[in-house]
Structure 1
Amino acid sequence: MQVREARPDERDAALNVLDAAMLETDRVDEGTLLVAVDRGSVVGALLLVGDRIDAVAVRRRRQGKGVGSALVAAAGERRERLVAAFDAGVRPFYESLGFDVRETDEPGRYRGVLEG
């Protein structure tokens, strides 16, 4: 598996991965779109806007196999600090990557910060 910035011909496939996870992609033109590619197929995508992970998703059959972790690691190589906002269901994922996680004022929502 290779993680890198999306090529123009991979953009639609990356957006499909994010859309399948029901994530907003309206800021894609403002950020860096990273992809995880395996055997020529996009299996994961991460949208990085400034220091914020705006969206990250992995194809269902590839979840739990390190794809999301690899995408976040690649984002961390590009920024000194990463910030993410997320629901309780993915809190363990961000904590396992070393994010300092705090609950927000919005019930069931969290904010994580990772300092490089």
Structure 2
Amino acid sequence: MDVRLATEADALEVRRLIDGAMLEAGDIEARIEAEDVLVVTLERQTVEGDIREAIGGAIVLEYPDDEQVGSAETDPSEGASTSPARHIRAIAVRRRRRGQGLGTALVEATLERYGTLTANFDADIRPFYEALEFDIERIAGDRYRGQKEQS
């Protein structure tokens, strides 16, 4: 399993994955260009016996106000990004790959890359974010908001 930034060539597969999960992620191509899409890849064997890379999951990010794309600044004394936290717009893992740690790998790699993440989610997804040790608060009805900083 490997997590990497998505490329233009991944756009269609990422869109299929997000659509298959019945999620809305906006303009996938623009998100890929802004380096706001990561994919988790797995090796799979084709009928011919070749080993190929297959996308098992994807995470699509945005800034909370979605007006900050491309505006990250760096503190020259520390070399760290001073941009606001990224927000998880959508995260999806192929149904047959769920429960195998792909979603966790996506979130952990995203935390390593960006430092802080936020997410809004429904009650049925709460156990996933709790297991990742997000700070969680109820925002309305069965909706929650979570935040985690890289530790």
TM over 0.5: yes
Matches within 5 A, 1:23-34: 23-28=23-28, 29-30=30-31, 31=34, 32-34=36-38
Q: Aligned residue for 1:97?
A: 132
Name which of 39, 42, 55 aligns with 1:38: 42
- Give, in whole Å, the separation in 2 of the partners of 1:25 and 1:82: 16
- Give, in whole Å, the separation in 1 of the partners of 2:6 and 2:23: 18
- Give, in whole Å, the separation in 2 of the partners of 1:27 and 1:92: 28
Matches within 5 A, 1:29-108: 29-30=30-31, 31=34, 32-39=36-43, 40-50=53-63, 51-104=86-139, 106-108=140-142
More deviation in 91-100 or 45-54? 45-54
Structure 2 gaps, min length 5: 44-52, 64-85
- Of Structure 1 and Structure 2, the greater helix share is in 1
Computing the radius of gyration over CA atoms, which structure comes out larger, 1 or 2?
2
Check if 1:112 corresponds to 2:146: yes
The answer on whether the counterparts of 1:46 and 1:71 sit within 8 Å (CA) in structure 2 is: yes
Structure 1 gaps, min length 5: none
- Give, in whole Å, the separation in 1 of the partners of 2:113 and 2:62: 11
CA deviations over 1:87-113 (Å, ceiling 9, x no partner): 001100001001001110x21100000
Instruction: Report the RMSD for the aligned CA atoms in angstroms.
Output: 1.2
- Give, in whole Å, the separation in 1 of the partners of 2:8 and 2:110: 19
Count residues in correspondence: 115
- After TM superposition, give the deviation of residue 26 of structure 1 in Å: 1.0
Q: Percent identity?
A: 43
Counterpart of 1:20, as a letter, is G
Return closer, same or farther for 1:27/1:110 CA change in 2, 3 Å cut-off: farther
- Give, in whole Å, the separation in 2 of the partners of 1:98 and 1:64: 17
CA deviations over 1:46-89 (Å, ceiling 9, x no partner): 00113101100000000000000000011101222110000001
